[in-house]
Structure 1
Amino acid sequence: MAEKNNNIPFNEDHYTHNINRDNERSLDRRGFMKTLVGAAGVFAVASLPWGVIAAKELSDLGDKKYPKQKITDITSFAIGDSVDFAFPGEHDSAILIRLSENKYVAYQNACTHLRCPVFWKKEDGEMLCPCHHGKFDVETGVPIAGPPRRPLPEIYVKVENGAVYAVGVKRYEA
């Protein structure tokens, strides 16, 4: 009877037998899943402070106080005219329109569709977005034509001592 030779035909240090070397870490499926879940947990915990900060900012929007900002003098502002201004920040463009002797409306003038500028067309009494032919009701800021679906953010105005001031931004609930 022939005897089987179970000897390895080459030295153990051969490069094909480096799978179980010392100081080498093996990672099976279970170990990989544990690592994956652990990493997800670390990312979730690490992002928690940012979520808290965002929630605080969003909840305080309704109570946010804005500094009163002068827009224009009444004497230099005829009925039917409009004035562009920046409010609440220097990069937030807005528009003020005088509708009658004592009625003023102001809106942030970035279209709620794709943020194109909205213009006041005095001859037609319309607020227009030239990008996609959107129209907004001048009395309410609500879209009346085109792709916009949300109203323009309204800016609260106050008339004092012969001037018009911006005093706040209306918060719209979703």
Structure 2
Amino acid sequence: MTDKNNKIPFDEDNYTHNINRNNERKLDRRGFMKTLVGAAGVFAISSLPWGVLAATELTSLGNKEYPKKKITDVLSVAVGDAVDFAFPGEHDSAILIRLSENKYVAYQNACTHLRCPVFWKKEEGEMICPCHHGKFDVNSGEPIAGPPRRPLPEIQVKVENGVVYAVRVKRYEA
């Protein structure tokens, strides 16, 4: 009953004529896991140079030289007053405090707890973080109250010809 135009090219009983059973599963679970582990290994190895670069940068922060930066003139800061400035970069907020006629201290003024700004309270002689009532010793930058556990990063200053300069960020020692 079938003519030339209506002929079926395969047996009607074979419903799986389009499946090549020998290569039905090219990627089974074991092959998938091998591929996944291989991809993770390639990713880990390819990110290794960036990790080494980051570690090198972090371990040499204290030795990094920055160009000295003018903070203020000696005559414009009275004993007990503070001056805000930026060091080492323009977005790195810092504070200079004149403790006596010849003693200046400077710190990065982001609290080591949650990076809130630290303020100098001249009347109390304290550096405070208002976010969580943290307090820092003005002479060392060490935390004396509140949740901060690490000292403020110290900025070394130098006085030359009546001008106070920031010269380096002192490395934090654990």
TM surpasses 0.5: yes
What is the RMSD computed on CA atoms of the aligned residues?
2.0
Q: Which runs of 5+ in 1 are unaligned?
A: 1-7
Q: Give per-residue Cα distances to partners, 1:63-120, cap 9 Å, x unaligned.
A: 2101100100011110000000000000000000000000000000000000000000
Provide the residue aligned with 1:165 in structure 2. 165
Q: Give per-residue Cα distances to partners, 1:113-160, cap 9 Å, x unaligned.
A: 000000000011110101011000001000001110100000000010
Cα drift, residue 53 of structure 1: 1.3
Provide the residue aligned with 1:12 in structure 2. 15
Provide the residue aligned with 1:5 in structure 2. none
Q: Alignment partner of 1:95: what SS?
A: strand
Q: Number of residue pairs matched?
A: 164
Q: Alignment partner of 2:26: what SS?
A: coil
Q: Which runs of 5+ in 2 are unaligned?
A: 1-10
Give the Cα separation in 2 of the matches to 1:59 and 1:116.
25
Q: Which amino acid aligns with 1:52?
A: V
TM-score of the aligned structures, taking structure 2 as reference length: 0.87
Q: Which amino acid aligns with 1:13?
A: T
TM-score of the aligned structures, taking structure 1 as reference length: 0.87
Q: Alignment partner of 1:62: what SS?
A: coil
Cα drift, residue 25 of structure 1: 4.9
Q: Percent identity?
A: 79
Give the Cα separation in 1 of the matches to 2:115 and 2:136.
14
Give the Cα separation in 1 of the matches to 2:124 and 2:173.
31
Give the Cα separation in 2 of the matches to 1:66 and 1:145.
32
Q: How does 1:89-108 map to 2 (within 5 A)?
A: 89-108=89-108
Give the Cα separation in 2 of the matches to 1:106 and 1:19.
76
Q: Which amino acid aligns with 1:12?
A: Y
Cα drift, residue 19 of structure 1: 7.4
Q: Which runs of 4+ in 1 moved over 6 A?
A: none
